[in-house]
Amino acid sequence: SAVISQKPSRDICQRGTSLTIQCQVDSQVTMMFWYRQQPGQSLTLIATANQGSEATYESGFVIDKFPISRPNLTFSTLTVSNMSPEDSSIYLCSVATGGSSSGANVLTFGAGSRLTVL
Amino acid sequence: GQNIDQPTEMTATEGAIVQINCTYQTSGFNGLFWYQQHAGEAPTFLSYNVLDGLEEKGRFSSFLSRSKGYSYLLLKELQMKDSASYLCAVTDSNYQLIWGAGTKLIIKP
């Protein structure tokens, strides 16, 4: 399965600032996914990052707030813009790789970026 | 709407067996995943079920009943390192992954 390096692992940010999270994969992948995980809650998909085209955002998430770059098949960034305390969460990048004996696409995750907004 | 239900927290004893249930209501079904997530770490893949029945993988087994919208993850011979959250996720008819909130499993000596 793929190995994903994600950084920063954690950060404390001031209200109104922006932070960019980076995700590097050790192999070329078509799609990369950005998730948010708030304490005690489900993983929520923010967007799918496609190389060479605009990211596809899920309902409730917009490009102005969460701009995504995907310059090549091994790298992506997610920016959390104009942060507020409600953005305090863990942000995870992931890629889909074949990994089950049934051939299903298994997700491999980065270690996550824990953001605290004051 | 689409929904996945799991118990919030469970406690079990080292060496024992525990069953974590997951029920789902989704628009279509294209498979169910179980992931393990240790505190402060990324989720890691445990199992995948797409057909009814039991899939066994070492100490872990996963069961699926599509007609009942039900799955469980069975952990045998529990070890302290099994203390983690266990996430159930279902792929719907559009191949979107719907995630449960996870079950925090606490193992006591």
- Separation of alpha carbons B94 and B109, rounded Å: 43
Interface check for B48 against chain A (CB to CB < 8 A): the answer is yes
pLDDT in tens, B53-99: 999 999 999 999 999 999 999 999 999 999 999 999 999 888 889 99
Residue A1 has pLDDT above 80, yes or no: no
Interface check for B2 against chain A (CB to CB < 8 A): the answer is no
Residue A99 has pLDDT above 80, yes or no: no
Specify the pLDDT at position B20.
98
Residue A101 has pLDDT above 70, yes or no: no
pLDDT in tens, A41-89: 889 999 999 888 889 999 999 999 999 999 999 999 999 999 999 999 9
Does the distance separating the beta carbons of A109 and B42 come in below 8 Å? yes
**Buried/exposed B2-25: b ≥16 CB within 10 Å, e otherwise:** eebebeeebebeeeeebebebbbe
Chain B hits for A102, Cβ within 8 Å: 31, 48, 50
Over its C-alpha atoms, chain B yields an Rg (Å, rounded) of: 13
Would you place residue B1 in the very low, low, confident or very high pLDDT band (cuts 50, 70, 90)? Answer: confident
Which among A92, A99, A100 is the nearest to B42, CB-wise? Answer: A92
The more confidently predicted of residues A115 and A2 is A115
Count, residues in chain B: 109
List the Cα angle A117/B6/B38 in 5-degree steps.
55
Which percentage of chain B shows pLDDT scores above 90? 88
Specify the pLDDT at position A2.
87
Please give, rounded to a whole number of angstroms, the shortest distance from the CA of A101 to a CA of chain B: 8
Token duo for residue A93: 């990048």
